[in-house]
Every structure is written in C-alpha cells, then in structure tokens.
Structure 1
Amino acid sequence: MSSPKVSTIAIEGVLDGTKADQVRQTLNAAINEGADILLFNCEQLTFMDSSGLGLLVHALKMVRAAKRKMMLCSLNKQVSTLFQLTEMYQVFQVYEDLADFEEQVLNRDA
C-alpha cells in the first residue's frame, strides 16, 4: 500500500481572523493538488485566539467536504490549553510533533 500524499501547512506567528484568506487559499491549493492529508504544523505558531480556532474548524469542514483528512502537530502550551478548554482534542487529530505524526500515520504499514 502506498503512503498517503501529505501537504504540510506551516502556521507561523499569530493565528486569528486576519489570516483567514491566507489559510483558505493555502488549503484550497493543497486540496486541488491532490493531498490526502493536510498537516497543520504549528511549531512556529505563537498564539491563537477564538477566531483562529474558528478558522481551524472551518478548515476541517472544508477538508472533510473534499473527503480528505486534516491533522495538526506541535501545539505550544497556550494552544494546547485552548484545545483542552474547548475540547478540540476530541475534534482534531493532534500529534506531539512532526516525528510523532510520521511514526503514527506514515509508518503504520511499515
């Protein structure tokens, strides 16, 4: 079985409502390029507010509508706390870091 095609989207700085168009464009491009999995790498993300969280939920809906998967990795403490408080860990597949994602998702059949 071949590995799924992964498109990694790096989120940097602050994720809030001002980044909506940028995230949508990047997401649409990744879907149109045939990615099976869209991985949001949050290693360089410094802060997320409720608008940013809403943006991720909207992104997840877009990805599911395209019959693809969306995952996140490398959440910092602030974002992790936000995910815990809003129970987003039940909604999103989140991995500790990129290596954890690769081990659990890409090497399952290896």
Structure 2
Amino acid sequence: MTITETTGSTHTIVTICGTLDASTAPDFRNSPAIADPSRTVVIDLDKMDFLDSSGLGALVGVLRRKQEANATILLSCMNPPVRKVFDITGTCKLFHIFDDTDAANDYAATYLRGR
C-alpha cells in the first residue's frame, strides 16, 4: 500500500493505492493527516484494490477520533468491491461517501467553513 497526501489550506486529500488490511492498517493510522485528529481528510479510494475487516476497522476508528476533535473523514471514488464491504457491513451509514474527489473537496470546504 502507498499513501499520498496533498495538503490544502482547509483539509488534506489522502490517496490510498493497494490494500488496506491487517498488515497495512498501522501505516494508514500513522500517516500524518490521518494521525492528526483535528485535520479533516478526503480519502480517495479509486486505487484501493482490497479492504478487509482490519482496514475497515482502521477507517472507523480514525473517523471516531476525528469526530471527537470536530473533524471528519470523507470518502471518494469507491470502487465496487470496496463499496460492497461498506454496504454489507452497514458502515456506509457512518461516512460521507462521494462518487468523485471534486465533490468531496467541495463538501469538505463547505463543512469546514461551517465550523
């Protein structure tokens, strides 16, 4: 898995390429924008090819920490196999999910202006 971060003035776009699973979840949780509880992030999942329960647990755990700090995670570009994991587990109800990163960025900017 590779993680790329693009930091803007209000939020950070985090792009995940590869697999988010038990072996890569610690790297995900320790990446700078993810580890900063007060930083809102848009996570681009277009290049994520696999997500297991450990990866899903990492996403949910980070979301909760960010919400406690008045920030959030927005998910974008979820491919069908990854979306299926969210739908089956019902975790899609926890996240704001967008079809494209531009829409997620617009929402993040609006969300952050309202805080």
**Which residue number in structure 2 is paired with residue 10 of structure 1?**
15
CA distance in 2 between counterparts of 1:62 and 1:102 reads 20
Is this contact kept in 2: 1:17–1:55, CA < 8 A? no
Matched, 1:88 2:91: yes
> Where do 1:2-41 residues align within 5 Å?
5-26=10-31, 27-28=34-35, 31=36, 35=39, 37-41=40-44
DSSP 3-state at the match of 1:78: helix
CA distance in 1 between counterparts of 2:14 and 2:105 reads 15
CA distance in 2 between counterparts of 1:54 and 1:38 reads 17
DSSP 3-state at the match of 2:46: strand
In structure 1, the gaps of 5 or more residues are none
Percentage of identical aligned residues: 24
How many residue pairs are counted as aligned between the two chains? 103
Look at both structures and tell me which one has the larger radius of gyration over its CA atoms.
Answer: 1
Matched, 1:66 2:60: no
Which structure exhibits the higher relative contact order, with contacts defined as CA atoms closer than 8 Å and separated by 6 or more residues?
1
- TM-score, length-scaled by structure 2: 0.77
AA at the equivalent of 2:27: Q
- TM-score, length-scaled by structure 1: 0.80
CA distance in 2 between counterparts of 1:55 and 1:103 reads 25
**Which residue number in structure 1 is paired with residue 4 of structure 2?**
none
DSSP 3-state at the match of 2:23: helix
